[in-house]
Structure 1
Amino acid sequence: MKKILLFITVLIYASGIFAQDGNPMLQRSSHITQDDGFGMQDGSKPQSRYEQVQSAKIAFFTSELELTPKEASEFWPVYNKFWKEREVAHRRIQNNLKTIGKALSGETKVSDSDLKLMIENYVAGYNDDGVIQRNYLEEFYKILPVTKIAKLYKAEEDFRIRMIHQLRKGGGPGNR
C-alpha cells in the first residue's frame, strides 16, 4: 500500500512538472532541424514537453479508440475539458501534499487539528477527481458506444504506463 501511495504521489508530482511550460529544462532545443518524432519540422517552433506528451497522447488515443470523424469531433472537446478539470484537481492534491510535507518536515508549525484538516483536504482532492470522472462518464455515454469508453479508460492507463517507462529510460514521447 505504501508503494502504491508513493507511486501515485510521484505520478502526480511528475504531471505537475509537465504542466510547467515555462521551465527551460523542459523545452526542446531550438537547433533541431528535422522531424524529431514530436511533429517538429525544419524551422518550426520547439514544443514544450507538455505539448509533446499531449500530442503523443492524442495520436495514441486516436489509434486505440478508432473514432469515426463524427465521434472525434464530439469527443475531443469534451475530453479536453475533462482532462483540464482533472489536472486542476490533481494540482490541488499535489499542493495539499506539499503542505503536509512542509508540516511534517517542521518547515511550518501546525497543530494536530491543522494537520488533520490538511489530510482531509488531501483525501477530498481524490474525491473531487472521482466526481469529475463520474460526471464526464455520463457525457462520454452520450458520445461514444460503451466499447469505446472502455477502450478510452484502457488507453489512458496504457498511455500512462508507456510514459512512465519512457521517462525511466530517459526519453520522451517520441523515444520508444
Structure 2
Amino acid sequence: MKLYLPNNCLNMKKILLLTCIILISNISFAQKGSREKVKAFKVAYITEKLELSSTEAQEFWPLYNAHQETISKLRMQKRKIIRALKEVNANQQDLSDEEATKYLDNHFKLEEQKHLSRKKLLTDLKKVISSKKILKLIKAETDFNKRILEKIKEKRKRGN
C-alpha cells in the first residue's frame, strides 16, 4: 500500500485546512449552538481566504478574537438601549428631549467605540500580517457575512 504525500506545500495546506474544517464542524455540531457553529465556520473561512502561516495564525487569532469580544460587548450595550426604547414605546410614554439626547449620545459613543476598536485591530494586524492580507480579511468578512445572511434567508423561506 502506497501512502499519498502531497509534493507541495499548497496541497498540504489545503489538506490541513480541510481536516481542521471537518474537526471543527464535527465538534461544533455535536456540542454547541448555532452561534458557535457560525464562529467555527468563520474561523475556517477566514483562515482559508487569508492563507495564514502557522506563525501568522498564532499572532492573528488572539488579536482578532479580542476585537470580536469587544464588538460583542458593544452590541449587547446597543441592544440594551434598543430594549429600553421599545419599553418606552410599549408603555406609550413620551420621551423628553433630554432623554432622547441621552439615548442618542450613548448610541454615538457605542458607534465610536466600535470604530476605534476596528481601527486598533487593523493597526495591530499590520504588525502581524501584510497589508494585502488585511485587505483580504476585510473582503473575507464581507463575503462571509453575505453568505450567512443568504443562509438565514433560505432557512426562513423553508420555514425552519
TM-score by length of 1: 0.69
1:115 aligns with 2:78: no
What is the Cα deviation at residue 166 of structure 1? 0.4
On the 8 A contact 1:65/1:148 being kept in 2, the answer is: yes
1:60 aligns with 2:45: yes
Where does residue 75 of structure 1 map in the other structure? 60
Identity %: 23
Where does residue 134 of structure 2 map in the other structure? 149
1:39 pairs with 12, 17, 26, which one? 26
Structure 1 gaps, min length 5: 1-34, 172-176
Q: Deviations over 1:12-60 (max 9, x none)?
A: xxxxxxxxxxxxxxxxxxxxxxx8x93249xx84321111001100110
Structure 1 segments of 4+ aligned residues over 6 angstroms from their partners: none
> Alignment RMSD, CA only?
2.2
Matched letter for residue 114 of structure 2: D
Structure 2 gaps, min length 5: 1-21
Superposition pairs of residues 120-131 of structure 1, within 5 angstroms: 120-131=105-116
What is the Cα deviation at residue 91 of structure 1? 1.5
Superposition pairs of residues 90-105 of structure 1, within 5 angstroms: 90-105=75-90
Matched letter for residue 45 of structure 2: F
- 2: CA distance, partners of 1:128 / 1:40: 34
Where does residue 158 of structure 1 map in the other structure? 143
What is the Cα deviation at residue 100 of structure 1? 2.1
The structure with more radius of gyration? 2
**Using a 3 Å threshold, how does the CA distance of structure 1 residues 115 and 148 change in structure 2: closer, same or farther?**
same
Where does residue 73 of structure 2 map in the other structure? 88
- 1: CA distance, partners of 2:86 / 2:107: 12
What is the Cα deviation at residue 107 of structure 1? 5.4
- 1: CA distance, partners of 2:92 / 2:112: 28
* Count of residues paired in the alignment: 134
What is the Cα deviation at residue 159 of structure 1? 0.7
More helix by share: 2
What is the Cα deviation at residue 105 of structure 1? 3.4
